[in-house]
Amino acid sequence: MKRLTPWIVPIVQVLIAVGFIVLVYAVSWFGETYTFKASSYEPYDPFFGDFVYLEYDSFEGSQDVESGTVYVSFKTGDDGYATIDRVSSRPFFGGTRANYYDRQVYIDDMSSYRVAEEETAAIKGAKTFEVDVDVAPWGMVRPHDLRSTEAKTE
């Protein structure tokens, strides 16, 4: 037992780190992928940072809930983009935690997208995007693919 004692803490730390990594990828394994239409209110700036800050038009509008923490679920609309299906003040299975203020739903994990270095040329100067987001049954979200829609319209 004396030989194993110094290794217990590092082993537990590694197991916790591996658990978090598995949890992030489990969102994609068990979740459903939705495509959202988004616009950037602060376009990508290589000097400012490697994040694009996004707003979602489908998250606007009056909801039958009070301001504060809400839980939302999504559905795919007729145009192929995801929209809000259900909004509730109480947690429900499949509900993603969000905030509702000023007739707008905000989901913190979806409001910014970290741009990989190889993607910067494709989105430079763009203001409208499609974002693929995996939504797990337990409510966790993982945005994973950002594409400019401006190239499609030109």
Sign of the alpha-carbon torsion through 110, 114, 120, 122: negative
User: What does the pLDDT look like over 64-75, one tens digit per residue?
Assistant: 888 899 999 999
- Say how far apart CA 85 and CA 63 lie, in whole Å: 11
Structure confidence by residue, pLDDT tens digits, 108-121: 888 888 887 777 77
Confidence of residue 133 (pLDDT cuts 50, 70, 90): very high
Alpha-carbon span 14 to 2, nearest angstrom: 20
How many Å apart are CA 64 and CA 83, to the nearest integer? 16
Confidence band, pLDDT 50/70/90 cuts, at residue 147: confident
Q: What is the mean pLDDT of residues 17-31?
A: 90
Question: pLDDT digit string (tens) for 43-94?
Answer: 555 555 677 888 887 887 777 888 899 999 999 999 999 999 989 999 998 8
Nearest by Cα to 96 from 63, 141, 35:
141
Considering only residues 44 and 150, tell me which one the structure prediction assigns the higher pLDDT: 150
